[in-house]
Amino acid sequence: MAKLIVGNWKMNGLGPALAEAQAVAAGLAGSLAGSLGGTLGGSGVRVGLCPPATLIERMARSLSGSPVLVGGQDCRAEASGAFTGDVSAEMLSEAGAVLVILGHSERRAGCGETDALVAAKVEAALRAGLEPIICVGETLAEREAGRAVAVVATQVRGSLPQVLAGRAFSVAYEPVWAIGTGLTPTTAQIEEIHAAVRAEMSAVLGVPGARAPILYGGSVKPANAAEILSVAEVGGALVGGASLKSADFLGIIAGAG
């Protein structure tokens, strides 16, 4: 199964930042013999970038024909309506997105998103033909209380609707305490949680849940990417700050080859 490496630019990037995305595409085409559709020929890696909504259309246009997939960082569950400031899955698709990140810890914590809301957004993404990346993860307090596995399993159970069966999707495990802190779980800790996520995905969705990739997201850098990506059940990475610089992001992608 091809590994999936996705960069989440969060609320970073104006027009000039598109040069970094173009450098990623050029690096993939030049050094890894990329083929169309986001899969790199012979390397078993799919690559995506999720910029702010203001850049999606421009990035999709500038990367047209490249191996880089473009995605959004969130979507509204409804297709349209009086929801000032929100963006629907259909709007993302029209702008050129093919992926969408849902349930990121920053939205769960900062915006009060529940598992049920995340599941509704997943259904919206599928309705619009987008491939959802569904985030789960525990806080430091939950880990220190010995509840990491239970918390993540509950999030998987509540955030993955049955309509995912037979559709392309992934789950991203992001230890909240490692995001942007420079802290990284041990490979044993990553393996434990990914195994628990896989078990829950399989219980919820059957065979499709046993096959969909599980990404790791939490201070992934070129220096630790190869080690993390070699851990059992790690099917890729959701990369934050390191995806803003093409050299760093390409270094992480190389760790998956």
Residues 108 and 118: their CA atoms lie apart, in Å, by 9
Domains of the chain: 3-12+46-59+90-254 (3.20.20.70)
Per the CB < 8 A criterion, the answer to whether 56 and 15 are in contact is no
Three-state DSSP class for residue 129: coil
| Per-residue pLDDT, 213 | 98
Q: Taking all residues of the chain, what is their mean pLDDT, rounded to a whole number?
A: 94
The count of C-alpha atoms lying within 13 angstroms of the C-alpha of 155, restricted to the half-sphere facing its C-beta, is 28
Residues 134 and 204: their CA atoms lie apart, in Å, by 14
Predicted confidence (pLDDT) per residue in 30-76, tens digit = 865 444 345 554 457 999 999 999 999 999 999 999 999 999 999 99
The answer for residues whose C-beta is within 8 angstroms of residue 45's C-beta and 6 or more apart is 2, 3, 4, 5, 32, 39, 236, 253, 256, 257
Predicted confidence (pLDDT) per residue in 140-157, tens digit = 999 999 999 999 999 999
> Is the Cα torsion angle 86, 10, 157, 215 positive or negative in sign?
positive
Residues 118 and 104: their CA atoms lie apart, in Å, by 9
Please check the confidence at residue 241 and state whether its pLDDT lies above 50. yes
Residues carrying an active site annotation: 104, 174
Beta strands in the chain (DSSP E): 3-8, 39-40, 45-50, 68-72, 99-102, 131-136, 170-173, 214-216, 236-239
For residue 38, give the nearest of 49, 50, 30, 46 by alpha carbon: 46
Three-state DSSP class for residue 8: strand
User: And the tokens for 102?
Assistant: 């849902």
Three-state DSSP class for residue 169: coil
Give 10-74 as a DSSP string: -S---GGGHHHHHHHHHHHHHHS-B-GGGEETTTTEEEEEE--HHHHHHHHHHTTTSSEEEEES-
Phi/psi for 19 (5° steps) reads -60, -35
| Per-residue pLDDT, 89 | 98
| Per-residue pLDDT, 35 | 40
Predicted confidence (pLDDT) per residue in 166-219, tens digit = 999 999 999 999 887 777 799 999 999 999 999 999 999 999 999 999 999 988
| Per-residue pLDDT, 42 | 44
DSSP state of 88: B
